[in-house]
Structure 1
Amino acid sequence: MSKGLSLCFLVVLSVCARAETWPGEQWSSGPSLSGPTLQALEAYAFAPRNDSTRAGIRTDALLVIRDGQLLYERYCAPTTADTPHLTWSISKSLMAAVLGVAYGEGLFKLSDPVLKFYPALGKHPAISMADLLHWASGLDWQEDYEYAPLKSSVVAMLYTRGHSNMAAFTASHDAYAEPGQVFRYSSGDSNLLSAALKAIVGPTRYADYPWNALFEPLGIRDATWEADASGTFVASSYAYLTARDLARIGLLMARDGRWGERQLLPKDWVAFNREPFTGYKAHQDATVPGGHWWLNRAANGAAQPWPDAPADTFAALGHWGQALYVIPSENLVIVRYGDDRDGSYSHNTLLRLVRQAVAGRVQP
């Protein structure tokens, strides 16, 4: 072999080896971020906090993973590397991953009616598993939060009349559209999926299933997932993971459901998660729903919601600024936990600043 070919061969081997780095008990470290681009990122993400007003951008944790290696990690007290942080609606995407393992076991199909697994949905027999994953059940649900608590379905589900059995509370809602036709974001849809999972895997496996099926294979050792009084995991809201452990979910999704030599999630399941819901009617600056994940895709004439990130970027997002971003084309996984209360945080700005810091350059 010539010297030139040998050099090319070594470069290819080096790139492949770097791309196949996997975390053990701890993440291995890659080249640290530094310089003006890092300073710009930190000035944005970790601006001085005013805990009396809770105004502005309030980052609790920020991790940047490239090629399976930890490039950057910073926390703001009281959050530390060992803190299982409330993920809020990132829990929805975690449930999608758990369901993906069951799907790979051949326990259900996307076309299956949810009624097959959850009889309490009897007055809505046409809702399928795919409909719930697209937040397209057609149930008349109001996903309003602090600004409109009196008419909010989700506030009632989590805190008042629906909190003891959240799936049954959701199933009691009337329909406003045919299933699978209209996107309406619904924490109730996610909790119906969690209730269906109980029958899909069986009640004896259910209590430990997220750990046995997903967390333990990924090396996640300290996860908490609260259940309601019926014993159903609150898939909409109440999973807690450290930032480092949440990054493992991101790496799994970045690599099409593979973890080491094991195809933990079927590739077609991950493809479904990352495919836009065809019934989505786009409006400006809105992220596009996939299969319980959010996509940076143009839809029905609207531009990409995060123009400073590649179109293949997708994310799990939660209330008050929780975010798990995955950029497969750049081998990037970004975890951001926060306590934002005023809407000033910008996904696009953080993604731009992280990408600039990784590239080590400043752009206007």
Structure 2
Amino acid sequence: MFKGLPLIFTLLLCLTAHAETWPAEQWSTGPNVSGPALQALETYAFPPRDDTTRKGIRTDALLVIRDGQLIYERYAGPTTADTAHLTWSISKSLMATVLGVAYGEGLFKLEDPAVRFYPPLAKHPAMTLADLLHWASGLDWQEDYEYAPLKSSVVAMLYTLGHHDMAAFTADHAEYAKPGQAFRYSSGDSNLLAAALKTIVGPARYPDYPWTALFEPLGIRHAVWETDATGTFVASSYAYLTARDLARVGLLMARDGRWGDRQLLPKDWVAFNREPFARYQANQDDAVPGGHWWLNRAVEGAARPWPDAPADTFAALGHWGQAMYVIPGEQLVIVRYGDDRDEIYQHNELLKLALKAFAGKVQP
């Protein structure tokens, strides 16, 4: 390929060809993508928007990063590139990422009892931080939303009985199983982690810790994270980021916790995030829980939940169609914000169409 060039120029060309791209204050942009595959993706993601009934797929933002460059971006509704969008349960994965920085500081271990960092868990001494990260606290929690508000633990936590002190409300629940033995998705588990972080890093550092530990090193300038009345971050639900800023977290995870020349997250922490919970009982329709991230992994009793995406795909997911997909093998990060109310949107369909538009051959 480089026949006839002096050796030094050949080496420089090779290094340039393999150099990684990282965003500075703004993302650098890659070549424009067009063609029938992109049109099919846009037809699916951006159908005519019904703002009266709020039915159907209602994508607010779709952004694609490939090889560290912004190659596609489109917005709808009131959302723009400058909108710090409510991420809902993507907040859970963000809290896991913040905790990863504290883990790298040596401030806790996964097997540590959660009560060490949050004393109101005294009735649950066997519960570990790893159990909370797997949504396997064993607490009898009902994660029902507006469709069943009267029996919903999460609605009570966010809006009624528990909204003043969400972690204390969660800790007061009885156990239905021993900690670490069964998966039950719980926004309460995530808020217990947020309360534990206050002790892990200390009350003086805590109010700024997501910014100093994660957002500022990644160049995220406009994040908002609400707290409850006790000053504890609502890790289950209330982080707000622009699509471009959220994609920085995706790139960090795609590159195994490394940002430029800094290993911001330990590699073993990222490996834990991306390893299925060993006691998960598979449901064919659901993504597989990892360490507060969702995985496209085949587990006993079920094939991959997103069969048209590679097995290394993992995601942060939220209510009403929020999603950030990370596909390391394709060097892709896809951020999708939405305002979906009727569960028509399908992760696998968007991934299938996006891979046809933006990636090479998908590996099994």
SS at match of 1:335: strand
The structural deviation recorded for 1:10 is 6.7
Partners of 1:2 and 1:313 in 2: how far apart?
35
Q: Is the Cα–Cα contact under 8 Å of residues 37 and 360 in structure 1 kept in the other structure?
A: no
Deviations 1:168-191 (A, max 9, x none): 000000000000000000000000
Matched to 2:72, the amino acid is Y
Matched to 2:124, the amino acid is H
TM-score by length of 1: 0.96
Deviations 1:120-159 (A, max 9, x none): 0110011000000000000000000011000000000000
Identical columns (%):
79
Q: Which runs of 4+ in 1 moved over 6 A?
A: 4-8
Q: Is the Cα–Cα contact under 8 Å of residues 91 and 239 in structure 1 kept in the other structure?
A: yes
Deviations 1:44-97 (A, max 9, x none): 100000111111100000000000000000000300000000000000000000
Q: Is the Cα–Cα contact under 8 Å of residues 63 and 334 in structure 2 kept in the other structure?
A: yes
Deviations 1:186-210 (A, max 9, x none): 0000000000000000000000000
1:42 and 2:47 correspond: no
* Structure 1 residue aligned with 2:109: 109
* Structure 2 residue aligned with 1:351: 351
* Structure 1 residue aligned with 2:194: 194
Q: Is the Cα–Cα contact under 8 Å of residues 33 and 360 in structure 1 kept in the other structure?
A: no
5 Å-filtered alignment, 1:119-138, equals 119-138=119-138
Matched to 2:130, the amino acid is A
TM-score by length of 2: 0.96
Aligned length: 359
* Structure 2 residue aligned with 1:183: 183
* Structure 2 residue aligned with 1:13: 15
**Residues 206 and 178 of structure 1: is their aligned pair in 2 closer, same or farther, counting only changes over 3 Å?**
same
* Structure 2 residue aligned with 1:154: 154
Partners of 2:58 and 2:79 in 1: how far apart?
12
Q: Is the Cα–Cα contact under 8 Å of residues 35 and 360 in structure 1 kept in the other structure?
A: no
* Structure 1 residue aligned with 2:307: 307
* Structure 2 residue aligned with 1:258: 258
How well do the aligned residues superpose, as a CA RMSD in angstroms? 1.6
Matched to 1:153, the amino acid is S
SS at match of 1:23: coil
5 Å-filtered alignment, 1:193-272, equals 193-272=193-272
Partners of 1:66 and 1:220 in 2: how far apart?
19
Q: Is the Cα–Cα contact under 8 Å of residues 313 and 326 in structure 1 kept in the other structure?
A: yes
Q: Is the Cα–Cα contact under 8 Å of residues 330 and 359 in structure 2 kept in the other structure?
A: no
The structural deviation recorded for 1:32 is 1.0
Unaligned 5+ segments in structure 2 are none
SS at match of 1:72: strand
